[in-house]
Chain A
Amino acid sequence: MLVDKQRAEAYLPEQRYPLPLSSAMPDVWELWQRAKTLEWDPQTDIPWEDLHPERYSAEQLLAAQMYWSRRTWGEYGAISESPALLLRFCLERRLPDLQFFFTMRTMEEGRHAEASWLMAERLGRYFPQPQNPPTAGAVGTHGVRRMAFDPETSLEGIFASLVCAAEEILIDVFKSTVHKATNQAVRRLMELILRDEVRHIAFGWQCLDAWAPSFTPETVRNIEKAVTAMIENVEFRGYRNLWLAIEGGSATPAEIDADRISCEAGLGGNTPEDEMRVFPEFLAKIRKRMAPWGVNLPMFEHPRLGTV
């Protein structure tokens, strides 16, 4: 297994030493410290007794089951992003602060997947796949694992697209809609996920802010390309919300409408009006935030959002 391949130099040589472990990025180290003290267990830390699915209509329950099933698929995909990126850190000999933080991130994404799955289950049913399988291409992955092993995509580009774009919009929507979750079990779950994700996002911005002075024009282009691809090929294909899918894909009307119905029932999710408000604000925010790095994000055309 090892010897033959090592002799054939099939594996890249890894340089581990010297291995200094003192924090070189104190802000990131602090996030790692906080992550260790803010653990929670989906089985016991959500007030499941307050869920009361019997109080909702069949239509509302179906929508919420679909919404939380979709969240599960996304969170499940995120479980393997972190180890993929960890290996990239390892091969590029990135700072230990990053590696420590990402070990916890893996666990947190697993926790979010379990919690979202439990929520769908306890609302009556978890859907293990989209109703029309081709939709799986839109909602199943945003391609970060593939990017993690693509030498053409810089780590800075991956962080900017995954953390500062995909996770940022997710959390912006969560933040602006958590108050609509009138169901106490749902609200608590959203708050707990939000608490973890805020750290994930802070990590991305802190890294990129720290590295920005050393960005080359190529790094900047790489960030622009990766973020643009995340918006156009992932967000606008309905990865997070099928209502945003430009071509509609093969999602059923029930799937597309699930977020709105679930949200209006207080069971999590968001409405098209929320998207119309939050998405442009999100884009304006990251455009402004990335500008000092020399990053210019283009304007995006969307049939429902307009020019954003």
Chain B
Amino acid sequence: MLAERLGGYEPDPGEPGLARVSNQPFAQVALDGDVPVEAYIAALGALDDQLDLNLYVSHLQQSKDETVRTALRLIASDRARHVAFAWAFLDHRVPALDARGRSAVIDAVHDVLANVILAGYRNTWLLPEKSREPWLGAEEETARQGLGASSAAQERSVLRATIAQVRERFAAWKLELPRVEHAELGAI
């Protein structure tokens, strides 16, 4: 509705790279018996939802339009519950996991971080260069006008802070999330 009321919703990214990275088979992964539920929740709830929440909060901080701010606030408050669920679930389950279960959690989080998030699932500036436009330019302009986005620089710091936050919380369970190498960001 926000896109529509701003003048037009775009039903297709129109760019194969963006279409591919933004269309992940997570619903099927949830039913995959090889993926323990703790690993799924860690990767999708504790990492990806947490990043999504932190990005929403960043967009909210940059927004000036009251309607957009209200929409972002409402979305963020729902998302905060989703994230709280993920951490509460993991807090309940992780301490009882055996070595294999713990390793599955770390592998899943590492996989989603390296191959989904750092491939640009949440952040357009992480897409391969040829797949970024016109979307990156549009986000920069949206951020400048205070209509619900953050600049690439702001998103970069949110991403780094989120990974640090996730790593710190995992450390409380003695789970170590290995560093990930990224061509532009270096070791993260």
Contacts from A to B (Cβ < 8 Å) = 1-3, 5-6, 10-21, 86-87, 90, 149
Contacts and interface: CB of A to CB of B under 8 A. Distances in A.
B66 to A, nearest CB: 22
Contacts of A15: 23
A167 to B, nearest CB: 24
A5 B151 CA distance: 34
**Nearest 4 CB-CB pairs, A to B?**
A18-B12, A18-B11, A11-B25, A1-B108
Interface in B1-53: 9, 11-13, 19, 22-25, 27-29, 31-32, 34-35, 39-40, 43
Given A1-B108, A1-B112, A3-B111, A17 B23 contact: yes
Contacts, number: 56
A3 B108 CA distance: 10
For chain B, the bracket of interface size reads: 20 to 34
B11 A6 contact: no
Given A2-B116, A12-B28, A13-B25, 13 more contacts: A1-B29, A1-B35, A1-B108, A2-B24, A3-B111, A5-B34, A11-B25, A17-B19, A21-B11, A87-B27, A87-B28, A87-B31, A149-B31
Given A1-B107, A1-B112, A6 B12 contact: no
Contacts of B39: 1
Nearest to B9: A21
B77 interface: no
Contacts of B67: none
A17 B115 contact: no
Interface string B86-125: 0000000000000000000001100110011000000000
16 contacts: A1-B35, A1-B112, A2-B112, A3-B111, A10-B32, A11-B32, A12-B28, A14-B25, A15-B23, A16-B23, A17-B12, A17-B23, A18-B12, A20-B11, A21-B11, A87-B27
A248 to B, nearest CB: 36
Nearest to A86: B27
A5 B108 CA distance: 12
A6 B111 contact: no
A2 B12 contact: no
A2 B23 contact: no
Nearest to A10: B32
B149 to A, nearest CB: 20
Contacts of B35: 1
A136 to B, nearest CB: 23
A19 B39 CA distance: 29
Nearest to B108: A1
